[in-house]
Structure 1
């Protein structure tokens, strides 16, 4: 089961990298919840709207799986900065239900 969950999360990242946002959204449960360092989002469509504007690019360094959970260490290219981050994806019934992302925001805040 965890291999399938890992595949779903990796496919989601690939779609974001390709800027195929419709396919990326198809990986998310409609009630998807995002919790991040800089804020939260409720709903798959709300989250994908943000991703369309930000166009982050992800380079997965390491993948960890445990049951319904997939965790990546990845570099996220946020445009002006590339930030080492960890993303915890909770997958249920073939869809990503939640994502919690942690990173040190100081390099982003120092730009302002």
Structure 2
């Protein structure tokens, strides 16, 4: 159940960060409200996740998967450029999460 809540926390954080881009510096009410609500939900679910998963593993997955997902959405939704350094960074983030899941965060 911890991983299900963690997935929800990641989804809420990604939605909040994406909405923040659409908020135009918090000048648009709808996306601004989605941003605030998304972060509140994300932190609540992350806190619940920590009841069953170690903090190192949970935070690494939450931040790593969230970062890689937001970077990918930046490419798809906002036309951000794709450089070798950006691809390498995303691969390293995902690799770090995998290593932590295989036992490095105990």
Q: Normalising by the residue count of structure 1, what TM-score does the alignment of the two structures yield?
A: 0.32
Instruction: Give the number of the structure whose residues are more often helix, by fraction.
Output: 2
Which structure has more relative contact order (CA 8 Å, sep 6+)? It is 2
Q: Which is greater in Rg?
A: 2
Instruction: Give the number of the structure whose residues are more often strand, by fraction.
Output: 1
Q: Normalising by the residue count of structure 2, what TM-score does the alignment of the two structures yield?
A: 0.33
